[in-house]
Amino acid sequence: MDLTKLKNCELFLFDMDGTLYLGDEVYEGAIELMEDLPALGKQYIYLTNNSSRAGTDYITRLKRLGFPCEKENVFTSGMATGLYLNEKAPGKRVYLVGTQAFRRELLSYGINLVEEDAEVVVVGFDTELVYEKLNKACHFLRRGAWFIAANPDWVCPMPHDEVLPDCGSICALLTASSGVKPTYIGKPNRNMIDVISTMTGIPNEKICAVGDRLYTDIAVAQNAGAVSVLVLSGETTEELLRTAERQPDYVLPDVHALHQVLK
Min. distance of Cβ 131 from Mg ion in angstroms?
A: 32
**Shortest CB 65 distance to Mg ion, Å:** 15
Residues with Cβ within 8 Å of 242's Cβ and at least 6 positions away in sequence, in order, are none
Looking at the Cβ atoms of 126 and 212, the one nearer to Mg ion is: 212
Shortest spacing between CB 205 and Mg ion, in angstroms: 23
Q: Name the residue nearer to Mg ion (CB basis): 212 or 249.
A: 212
**From CA 213, how far away is CA 43, in angstroms rounded?**
22
Of 83 and 214, the one with the shorter C-beta distance to Mg ion is: 214
Q: Amino acid identity, residue 159?
A: P
CA torsion, ordered 234, 219, 239, 6, to nearest 10 deg? -80
The distance of Cα 194 from the centroid of its chain, to the nearest Å, equals 12
Peptide bond preceding 203 in cis form (omega within 30 of 0): no
186 sits near Mg ion (criterion: CB under 5 A): no
Task: For residues 246 and 148, give the distance between their C-alpha atoms in angstroms, rounded to a whole number.
Answer: 27
Residue 141: exposure state from Cβ atoms within 10 A (0-12, 13-18, ≥19): buried
- CA atoms of 163 and 157, how far apart (whole Å): 5
Complex with Mg ion: residue 113 or 244, whichever CB lies closer: 244
DSSP state of 128: T
Q: Do 202 and 193 form a contact (C-beta atoms < 8 A)?
A: no
Choice between 22 and 199, CB closer to Mg ion = 22
Beta bridge partners of 251: 230
Among 9, 12, 13, 18, binds Mg ion (CB under 5 A): 18
Does 15 participate in binding Mg ion (rule CB under 5 A)?
yes
Contact positions with Mg ion (CB under 5 A) in 198-257: 212
Beta-bridge partner residues of 155: 165
Of 10, 17, 57, 119, the one binding Mg ion by CB under 5 A:
17
Asked if 153 touches Mg ion (CB under 5 A), the answer is: no
Q: In the complex with Mg ion, which residue's Cβ is closer, 90 or 157?
A: 157
Helix (H) or strand (E) holding 13: strand 11-14
Contact set for Mg ion, span 158-177 (CB under 5 A): none
Site stretch for Mg ion (CB under 5 A), options 7-15, 61-69, 185-193, 245-253? 7-15
Residue closer to Mg ion by CB (options 122, 217) is 217
How big is the site for Mg ion, counted in residues (CB under 5 A)? 4
Which amino acid is it at 178?
A: S
* Binding region for Mg ion (CB under 5 A) out of 16-24, 77-85, 186-194, 237-245: 16-24
Chain positions contacting Mg ion, by CB under 5 A: 15, 17-18, 212
